[in-house]
Structure 1
């Protein structure tokens, strides 16, 4: 098809600025990324195909912000805010934070790819570097429970990067949308449920049970983060964190740790 595949032709017919718009559509269909009213940030957004898809999904009650080193032409049919700048610079991040607002972003997305050299290992390493920059930005912008999607080329550095992302989310999936070209080594990591917990699974901490939960279990707090623990109100004990979710976690008492408070 003279190098112009079906997704390219479809994008022209349906008014999307890039064939990559269908990748985000497919990622959304498979992983439920975008909801009405969401705040979405697209990193490396030019020419704007992902911004168009995001704006359609979040509707009038949502917010869509795109940033890129290149100028992004304005959208006449969608309310989309665009910033021109380097997302690794504090000045750009400041404007991003202002655009997102105090509530934080529900989704941070990145379809960035490096300038290709043709040397596979180098291109892979550069893609992981870009993905890590996007991850750093996502951690700064995401609200608790938010989602992150990022493109990265397959290679030896992919698994360590995925592990780092997984440590901050409830779970991570690796997805290859049908719109990716057959010859491409790209995959997308879709991380769901950003966790702002001050503790991680396996951590041992001393807590005091301050309240009783609806199910009769104890509630303790670590830097404002809720932990459900089997114990009585007023009891101080050492616990091991067993499960971490965006807004609360679970922990089990460690034998021999802590002490009962005075009656």
Structure 2
């Protein structure tokens, strides 16, 4: 039995709308994308296989929002909402923001792919363009520490896309699920830990220590963002260099 037959048959037997559902399952298993109660945005969601997987993973306490130009038939999941529209249009983006809410999304996933022309360079470039659209949505909607998954076709522009994603996340890894067809050049870039900090690694600044951490480090605030400063006490004003940035805090080293 071929891999294609295996996942096609499993999707029919287990009630998923597309064999691609197993790609998302495998991505979740590999990268820990979803947790109960999460808010997930699925771009290019038709026919709904990824919506089904995400809805099961986040449970009744979570919610999943799917967006596609095509109509998505209703799903037997109360925690799924769909929007029919083009994400490049302001109206669709505004509707999505309203549904997601001010707290933002925990994950944005995209299985968007271009209409295939059969010309590899064109299909590759178009897939990168769609992945960049998803990256833009993620930067707009993700809460600190959120995750992004995008599909792209392997090729010369993939490295630049990955580098751009790395600027906004703790790390990015490339995953090719077993459920991908052997003949496909598709690859999924999984970005973990969305960074919304007002500081970046290498920044040099002067901070005032306003609190003390449990491990003895001083705590400074930069636009409300926590920066840990070793060997500093409350009231100290010190020159620091940002050493490492996490979604909700950063570590600094003293320069004095």
Give the alignment's TM-score, normalised by structure 2.
Answer: 0.95
Conserved 8 A contact 2:147-2:190: yes
- Could you tell me which runs of 5 or more consecutive residues in structure 1 were left unpaired when the two chains were aligned: 256-263
The answer on 1:234 being equivalent to 2:230 is no
**Shift of residue 2, structure 1, vs aligned partner:** 10
Aligned residue pairs total 255
Query: Partner of 2:206: helix, strand, or coil?
Result: strand
The superposition leaves residues 145-189 of structure 1 with CA deviations (integer Å, 9 ceiling, x where unpaired) of: 111111111111111111111121111111000000001111111
Query: Partner of 1:81: helix, strand, or coil?
Result: strand
**Shift of residue 77, structure 1, vs aligned partner:** 4.5
**Shift of residue 234, structure 1, vs aligned partner:** 2.1
**Shift of residue 81, structure 1, vs aligned partner:** 0.2
Conserved 8 A contact 1:52-1:78: no
Q: Deviating runs (4+, > 6 A) in structure 1?
A: none
**Alignment correspondent of 1:120:** 120
CA distance in 1, matches of 2:78, 2:213: 45
Matches within 5 A, 1:124-163: 124-163=124-163
**Shift of residue 225, structure 1, vs aligned partner:** 0.7
CA distance in 2, matches of 1:214, 1:76: 47
**Alignment correspondent of 1:82:** 82
CA distance in 1, matches of 2:157, 2:254: 37
Conserved 8 A contact 2:3-2:181: no
Superposition RMSD in Å: 1.6
CA distance in 2, matches of 1:61, 1:30: 23
Question: 19-28 or 214-223: which moved more?
Answer: 214-223
**Alignment correspondent of 1:15:** 15
**Alignment correspondent of 2:219:** 219
Change (3 A) 1:7 1:166: same
Change (3 A) 1:233 1:59: same
The superposition leaves residues 88-129 of structure 1 with CA deviations (integer Å, 9 ceiling, x where unpaired) of: 222111111111112211111000011111111111111111
CA distance in 1, matches of 2:210, 2:2: 68
Query: Partner of 2:149: helix, strand, or coil?
Result: strand
**Alignment correspondent of 2:101:** 101
Query: Partner of 2:124: helix, strand, or coil?
Result: helix
CA distance in 1, matches of 2:75, 2:90: 26
Matches within 5 A, 1:38-49: 38-49=38-49
Conserved 8 A contact 1:217-1:229: yes
The superposition leaves residues 208-234 of structure 1 with CA deviations (integer Å, 9 ceiling, x where unpaired) of: 122222222111111111100122322
